[in-house]
Chains A and B, each alone.
Chain A
Amino acid sequence: MKSYLLPQFTVERDASRCSVCRACIKECSFGVHYYDEKRRTMGTHEERCVGCHRCSTFCPTRALTIRTHPAKFRPNANWRPECILDIRKQAETGGIVLAGMGCDKPYRIYWDHLLLNASQVTNPSIDPLREPMELRTHLGARPDRLAVADEPGAPDAPLTPQVSVEVPILLAAMSFGAISAQAQRALMQAAQEAGTLCNTGEGGWPAELRGFGRHVIVQCASGRFGVDADYLNEAAIVEIKIGQGAKPGIGGHLPGEKVTEAVARTRMIPPGTDALSPAPQHDIYSIEDLSMLIYALKEATNYEKPVAVKIAAVHNAAAIASGIVRAGADIVVLDGFRGGTGAAPKIIRDNVGIPIELALASVDARLRVEGIRHRASIIASGGFRNSADVLKAIALGADAVYVGTAALIAMGCTLCQQCYTGKCAWGIAASDPKLAERLDPNVAARRVVNLINGWSLEIKEMLGGMGINAIESLRGNRLHLRGIGLEDWELEVLGVRGAGT
């Protein structure tokens, strides 16, 4: 069947610059560039180009420019080009259209409609270059009070394990298999250096990365890959993954061809078999089942580690989160619909779930109304692009945030959304060892640490501007936010006032 799919990108090669060094052929994992022996010129299969800019970045003479393909269908507001292409893809394959990374549709990004405050006159702003500015954050349930034990009948104060991070920016769950071993090492190394935490994702924890234990959150997901007593006990936090923002309600599927020896060993499954993560956890069909798993994990870790529960931000996230806290979770993780993924059905990625901003605001408000906000930390996740997004999330009520996509971008990712192909030319989401070797963990870690440090400096400046010198004093402090260009219901859900009021 002839493919009716049209090229998405066009490759422009400046012949006056091209030295025919063929570096582009080596760099492109999608087979776009070739050398035409007969004509002794470079040729292009532009229909294969995914727009990852690997070739143009590495072209020594800067001869390559990748552009969005100029070809257009007749303009139609309903039948946009993407709709037409997806239909053609499905007509040719009869399958589900897959995509990588997070939802890229133009839903309202609330971060861009929230503005931060600054001090003038009545309280001085604080200069972080001259005064201490504290970003250290503790994650875990807080006791109701610091108890005095000899009060008649006073109970022992609960021992609630806490994990401290130097900056409230955590590296999000990305599993070995979805990302390369090199990429996972880079993230863990970065977490250690920046004094924060890195989540293993659900694909197990490679033996050679166990040394980063104090900076690692391990996931216990529906596939239970790689979960054993050591896995749980060597980590700082155990996270039960119920859902993921990019694909709420569905599981995962790592095809057998990606289950290499190393992946198989780490996931504790036979090599070459499909690694299936069921949609639900089959021992959790209700909230009391979740509670049992939470306490099973606490038993397994001697009540020494906070247990987190991660859910996708869905319509009734507030009620679910309240149940999760009452079920005994120490941390609630909310993953908004802009959160990334290695592979998801595009239709789900783009249509299921709600923005993290709204979910976070409503969860924080609900836990406060119920008087249980202090019994769990909230980690927000899904599409944080810069330090202002992070700070706004904290003002909306988050204790910390997970960044995944931003960390990948720091390592080289250009959001070409081909993670599910295993062909990542940047060696990040690559399963091919040759491609994975392209990522130097030390360099990648340095880029991620630099990013976290850069954001930290910016956060300190913004905090100081608000006259605040400890991050906890901004948490849930929505008075420091104002909405702009939002409707009343949106302001109400976000719990912020309109700008100028």
Chain B
Amino acid sequence: MRNLDTFSNPYGDGKVIDSCGLFGMMSLEGRTFPGSDAICAMANMHARGNGLGGGFAAYGIYPDFADCYALHVMFDSAAGRDATEARIADTCEVVHDEAIPTKPTACTGPSPVLRRYFISPKADPRDRCQAARRLRKSSATAAGPDDVIAADDTTTDSAIGSVTDAATVVVDPTAGSRPGVTPCGQRDDEADERIIALVMAINLQIDGAFVLSCGKNMGVFKGVGYPEDIGRFFRLDEYEGYLWTAHGRFPTNTQGWWGGAHPFSILDFTVVHNGEISSYGTNRGFLETQGYRCALHTDTEVVAYAVDLLARRHRLPMWLVAKVLAPPFWSSIDRMDDAERQLCSALRVTYPDLLMNGPFTVIIASGDMMMGLRDRVELRPLVAATSGDMLYLSSEEAPIRLVTPDPDRVWVPRGGEAVIGRVGAKDVVTGTERGPVPKPGSADLGPDCAQQGTGRTQREWMIGAG
């Protein structure tokens, strides 16, 4: 979609505002189950949407192609499809592609062509010299926009994926700059960045095509309509996943279009969001300096990019990501013990522009993790529940009780208090129950650290400020 604004923000408002119903459910044991419960839950919250958007993110649904990036793409035109497929073939090997199976229902309007591609990036012969050039550049100068442009050979338009170096070089203002370092972890950062570049190129340059999601072993299914109808349209009861999130939308200033529904995603991070971020301009301004292009002008988009920046590029564990998005008040920080105060204040000082201000609840999912978080003064609802190996997050309690009539525990998380469930973890982590605070020097990252890839529990933390 060359001009996303005509779809997403036709009135040219500063941002797209919508309000919504959210639902998420996951098995902490990684047990898969069909999407029918999520559909049922969303139907119960019908009144929280207005039929202009519904969507689902499902994790674990493509075990046969678990190592491939699964591109869900919508096409408005044959030309868009041709251009997209050519673009994909340029940089990636297509392992498998097919139409996304749908079952037209009376309640969903005309749909775009929906296809999925299971792809893996080809090795790029230019990589080596590009990497060398970037290293030279970042050694010679502070990481700045030069690096962004230099690295951005695959697209003419500045895209998200091109700023790895700018992001990972820690610029020391007291000593000039230092060479870039690639973050560690199980993720293939190079491949991730290339996929993001591809997706942004399709979304921003090709007319008639829009990528709905691009993560591994997961997919986003969304469109214009009530969420329960969208779920049935995509036949989600026929998929088996271990983690589902869902969203029903009530936009106030956007025309319904299929790409504009939630979840929003970047790689395997998905966000469903209920709220209006009052700090949108600040958040967006900062993210744009980090190389993100906020093409959709939605506040949900900035949450997705903020999580990508913090969790993937800056390697913060999710419970610390939550403390950036909805940090404790200074009055609380002042009362904390030394280690925690130092950590929380370092987070606030380092990332003030990523504080999400205003009313919101988000459910963020990534790979094997689901996190629910609401704003620090609790202006939007969130209910959490556990039942056996299941964790539920929802805007309302009723849908939880509809799908699991006798939950073990139901609670309302406090503002800024993340509820984090992770496949393989026995317990759900909440804001008040997380592990020891990492200290400058060597410390345990807390219960969420294993999720971040290395699996090591001992890491050295450098508190950069405060």
Contact = CB atoms under 8 A, between A and B. Distances in A.
A501 interface: yes
Contacts of A150: 459-460
A207 interface: no
A155 B178 contact: yes
B358 A146 contact: no
A480 B466 CA distance: 29
Contacts of A326: 142
A142 B348 CA distance: 10
A147 to B, nearest CB: 5
Contact of B316 (A140, A146, A149, A477): A146
- State the main secondary structure of chain A at its contact with B: loop
Nearest to B276: A123
Interface residues of B, number: 67
Contact of A157 (B15, B316, B377, B463): B463
Contact of A158 (B173, B252, B377): B173
A475 B20 CA distance: 27
Interface in A123-166: 123-124, 126, 131-132, 134, 136, 138, 140-162
Contacts of B288: 368
Contacts of A119: 278
A501 B14 CA distance: 9
B301 to A, nearest CB: 14
A142 to B, nearest CB: 6
A146 B464 contact: yes
A132 B329 contact: yes
A148 B15 contact: no
A146 B327 CA distance: 15
A467 B358 contact: yes
A265 interface: no
A190 to B, nearest CB: 22
A122 B277 CA distance: 10
Contacts of B275: 123
B331 A132 contact: yes
Interface residues of A, number: 63
A75 interface: no
A303 interface: yes
A88 interface: no
Contacts of A375: 171, 173
Contacts of A155: 170, 172, 178, 181
B174 A143 contact: no
Interface in B446-466: 459-466
A476 B281 CA distance: 7
A472 interface: yes
Interface stretch (B92-100, B265-273, B349-357, B388-396): B349-357
Contact of A303 (B148, B174, B377, B459): B174
A497 B145 contact: no
B355 A470 contact: yes
Nearest to A156: B462
Given A142-B465, A375-B171, A479-B14, A122 B252 contact: yes
Given A123-B275, A479-B281, A370 B144 contact: yes
Interface string A323-347: 0001010100000000000000000
Given A145-B350, A158-B173, A152 B184 contact: yes
A466 interface: yes
Given A150-B459, A154-B170, 7 more contacts: A122-B17, A140-B465, A146-B462, A158-B464, A470-B352, A476-B285, A497-B14
Interface of A: 119, 122-124, 126, 131-132, 134, 136, 138, 140-162, 295, 298, 303, 326, 328, 330, 368-375, 466-470, 472-480, 497, 501
**In the complex, the 8 A-B pairs of residues with the closest C-beta atoms, listed nearest first:** A473-B279, A143-B464, A477-B281, A473-B357, A479-B281, A157-B464, A472-B352, A157-B462
